[in-house]
Each structure stands twice: as structure tokens, then as C-alpha cells.
Chains A and B, each alone.
Chain A
Amino acid sequence: MNDLGDLYQQVILDHNRNPRNFKRLESANRKAEGNNPLCGDRIQLYVQLDGGTITDIGFQMPQGSGCAISKASASLMTDAVKGKPVKDAEAMFAAFRGMLSGGANAPGKLAAFSGVRAFPSRIKCANLAWHALHAALQNSAEPVTTESAKDF
């Protein structure tokens, strides 16, 4: 079960069970929807952006539509970017994608997803929330799908 332990690290199981920032932000001035059409995973992301800083962030997944990887990734992402300038959030996204495509571990708790590298079919799950964040920060009106992103 070693490899599975690498994938489902305790921090991931914890964030799956108790996702942080799992809320709808009524006041959000940026929103984005992410879809993984292959598996039906959906995320709704709410971002409060003030003067180039993410002052608040929340996400929702319709009942049962997020696997442990996608939900924990969204939860840890929201924790990581809250209070951070947009450019720092984008840099984290770059580091996260880099890690999943075989590069160095992303900083802090995001490194918990390094085990996903060994499960190519699950990389889209881990990236879903980040693509939604990127779309929200770009103020893109179109829902993003994991099928349109180049890194899959």
C-alpha cells in the first residue's frame, strides 16, 4: 500500500473529509467554474480580489462530484492563496503544475500532491481547482474544462 499511501497522504484525506473554505462567497467579485468532463467533477470557485490581493476565497462542489484528490486540492489551494497577491498565486499554480509534470515539489503543504505524479489518470483531478482559479484571476467568463488546458 506504499504507493497508495503516497497518493492519499494524511493531509489529503483530512482536507477531503474536512475541506477548508468550503463555502459560497456571496460578495465575490470573481467567479469561475471548472469541469472535468471525463469524470463529471465540477467546482465552483469564488474569489474576492481587492487591489491585486486575494482577500477571500471559497469553493463548492455539487454533492458527490469531487473525488478526494480534487476536493483536497481545492481546499489546500484556497488555504495557500488566501491573503496572497495574484502574482504569488499564479507562481504557486506554475509550481504546482511543474510538480505534477515531474518537476520539483511545490512549496509547503502543496507538496502533499507529489504522489499524484505516479497516477497519470488523476493529475486532472489535482489540477482542476487551480485551472478554475487561473480562470477567475483572468476574469474569464467561460467555464474551464480539464480538456482545454494544455498540460494534460
Chain B
Amino acid sequence: MLDTRRIRPDFPILAQQENGQRLVYLDNAATSQKPLRVIDAITHFYSHHNANVHRGAYALAVEATEAYEAARTAIARFVNAWAREGVVFTRGTTESINLVAGSWGRANVKGGDTVVVTAMDHHSNIVPWQILCQEKGATLRMVEITKDGRIDLADFGRALEAKPKIVAFPYVSNSLGTVNPAAQLSKLAHAAGAVTVVDGAQSSPHLRVDVQALDCDFYALSGHKMLGPMGSGALVAKPALLEAMPPYHGGGEMIERVWDDRSSWNKIPHKFEGGTPNVEAAVGLGAAIAYLEQLGMDKVSEHEQELARVAIDRLSQIEGVTIYGPRDHRAGVVPFTYGDIHPHDLATILDKDGVCIRAGHHCTQPLMRRLGVAATARASFYIYNDLDDIDALVTAVRKAGELFGVLAS
């Protein structure tokens, strides 16, 4: 496991108390905390290099552009992108997927076509496709999940019989923690003639990602879940696809020439980066990637998987606790319910002990319906969590049981 005694001091917020208790932050699937290195990178950018990018003829503007483009290179290296030109900065996974739906989707999906998503997708990988399909008169097909929380491969195969134009799925489920066989799914989808869109919001922070090995077509990621700033993120795509796609947002920076009545487009990735970008977010994300690379993504995965294993083991010993998701092939996400205590009540009770967990539908309402629950509680781990955090979680859950006189269901 990682040496959290050395990691925790890098995160100023962890020194803070919550309700008079040590902060036990277990909502990392929602967003991660930020190390000083990231916070300082943002401050340093504004203190020393701030100017608009890609346009100034003066040295400061060149420095700002270099800082921005260095972050693009870092992302490309981090996920083994096809080319650094295939990395488009966005506000995060949601915008990345909307970009694909709004550009590639609108140009290529026609009435009668099919788009495939899965029942474990986050709303951000469902709703953009619903909007596209409604606009085009296309069919949205949702692939079912198995009882233990995996993508149902038989149903996935049936969905491919419709020869879908797009197949979208999450690499890692934010609600279940399932690590999906993304390379296999992508291969099957390609054989059926589809392009593949991988929601990488939960994989990028936690796994060693190699988009070329996955051989997907589009890969979306969010910076804020991987130690970076909120509003940072990227769409990583095969350059040839981006070349052929129409622009997403019109504006400055994305053009080559503007006539009175028409324009021609800048080269990729700039064609998709209209307007002044969030340079501080890009710079902060670059610093976050440097921090993760220093730890090593294999060690990061191993650490979280061990924490999840211990948490599942210990929570399972409490009578009335139900854990959701598969036994193996899972990331550091532990969804659970406890008897008839509503997850919101659990979250409130845990908060009093300084333990922050998420309670609710986790932006996966179709999945919740299939699990037959309105909500779950979810503990999710990251590099600064340790076994003391799991002690605090388990103690607080037991306390909730005492308060509510839990009826084990």
C-alpha cells in the first residue's frame, strides 16, 4: 500500500477538522481533494505567467501558451493518447461526451440508427445520447447488467446486432465500482461497425489507462476527480476522427479564416477549443498528473483496491449491511445499504463523526431502478485514505445502527 503518512501532509484540507473530528473524506468518486502542488501551480500561473494563450506576440503570452500546451502533453502521455493533437481540453467528462454527441453524433447519426449505452452509465453518458437520438429519430438501446453488477455481455452482443453507429460505456462504474472489460467491449463494437465512446471519469484517476490498448475511438476524462481543478478535463480521440468532425463551439481560436458569411477551421485540437480556455485548470491538471505519475498508477490502483477489500470485508460483518457490485474486477468504490436506514440518514449520521460519504442515486437512476433501490450509500477511496479511515467508517456505521435500532433486512 502507499505510505499515506507521507501523502496526507500534501493535502491541506485533510489537516482540517469536520464537526470537531478528523476529516475522513470518502467521497472521492464525486471529487478528489487537491495537493499543494496543484494549488501552488494555479497560484504560480497567475502570479508569474498569466496572459491569453495562442495569440500574444509577447513573451508572457508565449509562457502562458507553453504552460497550457505542456498540460496537453502531460494528458497525452498519461493515457497514452494517439497524438497530443488528439487531446481536446474540455470542462470535464460531461462536456467531452456532449462534444462527441454534438459533433460526431450530429454529423453521422441518422433517423433509424441505433446508439448503444449501458444501464450502469452515469447520466452524463446517457442524456447527451438521448438528446441526440430524439433530435435524429434514432433509437437509444440500453444494455442490461448482470445481477452482480457487470455489463451483460450476452445483451451487449444482442444490442450490436442492430449495427449501432455509436457504442458508449464506462470504463469504471461510479455507482458499482465495476471495472469493465473496455478493450473487449470496444473490439466487439468495432466489429459491428460502431465507434466507441469510453467514459473515463472513474478510470483515469484510479487505473493505468492506455487508450491505444483499449482501442476505443473517444475517451473522456475529468481532472477534478484525479487531484486536478474543477472545470478541467479532456476528450482524447483518434486524430483522424477529430479531423473529419465539424466544430462544436464557434468562436475565437477555433477558426483559420473568417469571411463575412463563412469561416474555415483551425487545426485540431484547436478547432474544438473556441474561446479563451481555462488555462489555470489545464495547468493544475498537468500538476495533478505529475503528482500521480510520481506515485505510479499501478500503486494507486493497488492501494485503493486493498482499501476497498478491507472495507467490504469489515462492513459485511455488520448484520444488515448489503454491498453492491461485483466481488472482483472492482475499483475503490464501495456502495452499500444498511437495513432499513435510508442512505441519507446514514450520511448525516456519519458526517457527525467527520466521515464524508455520498448518499443518493449517484447520477445513475437507470441503474438504481435495476438494483431495486432508490439510493445507496457509497464510500470511495483515494491515495490519501488509510485503514484508520475505514475504522472511522465502520464505527460510524455501527453507531447509526444503534441510533436507528436497525432492522436487518
Is A125 interfacial (CB 8 A cutoff)?
yes
Given contacts A1-B403, A119-B348, A121-B348, contact A68 B361 (CB under 8 A): no
Beyond A13-B405, A68-B404, 5 additional contacts (C-beta under 8 Å) are A13-B404, A40-B375, A41-B374, A64-B374, A121-B348
How would residues 66 to 88 of chain B score, 1 for a CB under 8 Å from any chain A CB and 0 otherwise? Answer: 00000000000000000000000
Is B349 interfacial (CB 8 A cutoff)?
yes
Contact call B348/A39, Cβ cutoff below 8 A: no
Is B314 interfacial (CB 8 A cutoff)?
no
A122 to B352, CA, bound (A): 13
- Chain A residue numbers with a CB within 8 Å of B348 are 4, 7, 119, 121-122
- Chain B residue numbers with a CB within 8 Å of A119 are 348
Is B266 interfacial (CB 8 A cutoff)?
no
Contact call A65/B374, Cβ cutoff below 8 A: yes
Contact call B361/A40, Cβ cutoff below 8 A: yes
Interface of chain A residues 21 through 69 with chain B (CB within 8 A): 38-42, 62-69
Contact call A68/B342, Cβ cutoff below 8 A: yes
Question: Main SS of chain B's interface residues?
Answer: helix
Residue of A whose beta carbon sits closest to that of B373: A64
Within 8 Å by CB of B352, from A1, A39, A121, lies: A1
Minimum distance in angstroms from B351 CB to a CB of chain A: 8
Within 8 Å by CB of B345, from A40, A62, A63, A68, lies: A68
Contact call A62/B352, Cβ cutoff below 8 A: no
Within 8 Å by CB of B368, from A40, A42, A68, lies: A40
Contact call A66/B342, Cβ cutoff below 8 A: yes
A69 to B344, CA, bound (A): 9
Given contacts A13-B404, A65-B374, contact A38 B345 (CB under 8 A): no
Is A3 interfacial (CB 8 A cutoff)?
yes
Given contacts A40-B360, A68-B345, contact A63 B404 (CB under 8 A): no
* Most chain A beta carbons < 10 A, residue from B348, B349, B360, B405: B348
Interface of chain B residues 347 through 406 with chain A (CB within 8 A): 348-349, 352, 359-361, 365, 368, 373-375, 399, 403-405
A62 to B343, CA, bound (A): 15
Contact call A39/B375, Cβ cutoff below 8 A: yes
Minimum distance in angstroms from A35 CB to a CB of chain B: 12
Q: Which of the four size classes fits the interface of chain A?
A: 20 to 34
Minimum distance in angstroms from B269 CB to a CB of chain A: 35
Q: Which of the four size classes fits the interface of chain B?
A: 20 to 34
Minimum distance in angstroms from B375 CB to a CB of chain A: 5
A42 to B369, CA, bound (A): 14
- Chain B residue numbers with a CB within 8 Å of A40 are 360-361, 365, 368, 374-375
Within 8 Å by CB of B403, from A8, A41, A64, A125, lies: A8
- Chain B residue numbers with a CB within 8 Å of A38 are 360
A128 to B399, CA, bound (A): 27
Contact call A122/B344, Cβ cutoff below 8 A: yes
Given contacts A66-B342, A122-B344, contact A39 B404 (CB under 8 A): no
Interface of chain B residues 332 through 350 with chain A (CB within 8 A): 341-345, 348-349
- Chain B residue numbers with a CB within 8 Å of A4 are 348-349, 352, 403
Residue of A whose beta carbon sits closest to that of B407: A17
- Chain A residue numbers with a CB within 8 Å of B374 are 40-42, 62-65
5 pairs across A/B with beta carbons < 8 Å?
A8-B404, A40-B368, A41-B374, A66-B342, A68-B341
Within 8 Å by CB of A39, from B349, B360, B405, lies: B360
A38 to B344, CA, bound (A): 11
Given contacts A40-B374, A121-B348, contact A67 B368 (CB under 8 A): no
Contact call A64/B342, Cβ cutoff below 8 A: yes
- Chain B residue numbers with a CB within 8 Å of A122 are 344, 348
A63 to B404, CA, bound (A): 18
- Chain B residue numbers with a CB within 8 Å of A125 are 344
- Pairs A-B, 5 closest by C-beta atoms: A67-B342, A65-B374, A67-B344, A64-B374, A40-B361
Minimum distance in angstroms from B196 CB to a CB of chain A: 30
Minimum distance in angstroms from A12 CB to a CB of chain B: 10
Minimum distance in angstroms from B238 CB to a CB of chain A: 37
- Chain A residue numbers with a CB within 8 Å of B404 are 8, 13, 68
- Chain B residue numbers with a CB within 8 Å of A62 are 374
- Chain A residue numbers with a CB within 8 Å of B352 are 1, 3-4
- Chain A residue numbers with a CB within 8 Å of B359 are 39
How would residues 63 to 83 of chain A score, 1 for a CB under 8 Å from any chain B CB and 0 otherwise? Answer: 111111100000000000000
- Chain B residue numbers with a CB within 8 Å of A64 are 342, 373-375
A98 to B375, CA, bound (A): 29
* Most chain A beta carbons < 10 A, residue from B342, B359, B360, B368: B342
Minimum distance in angstroms from B388 CB to a CB of chain A: 21
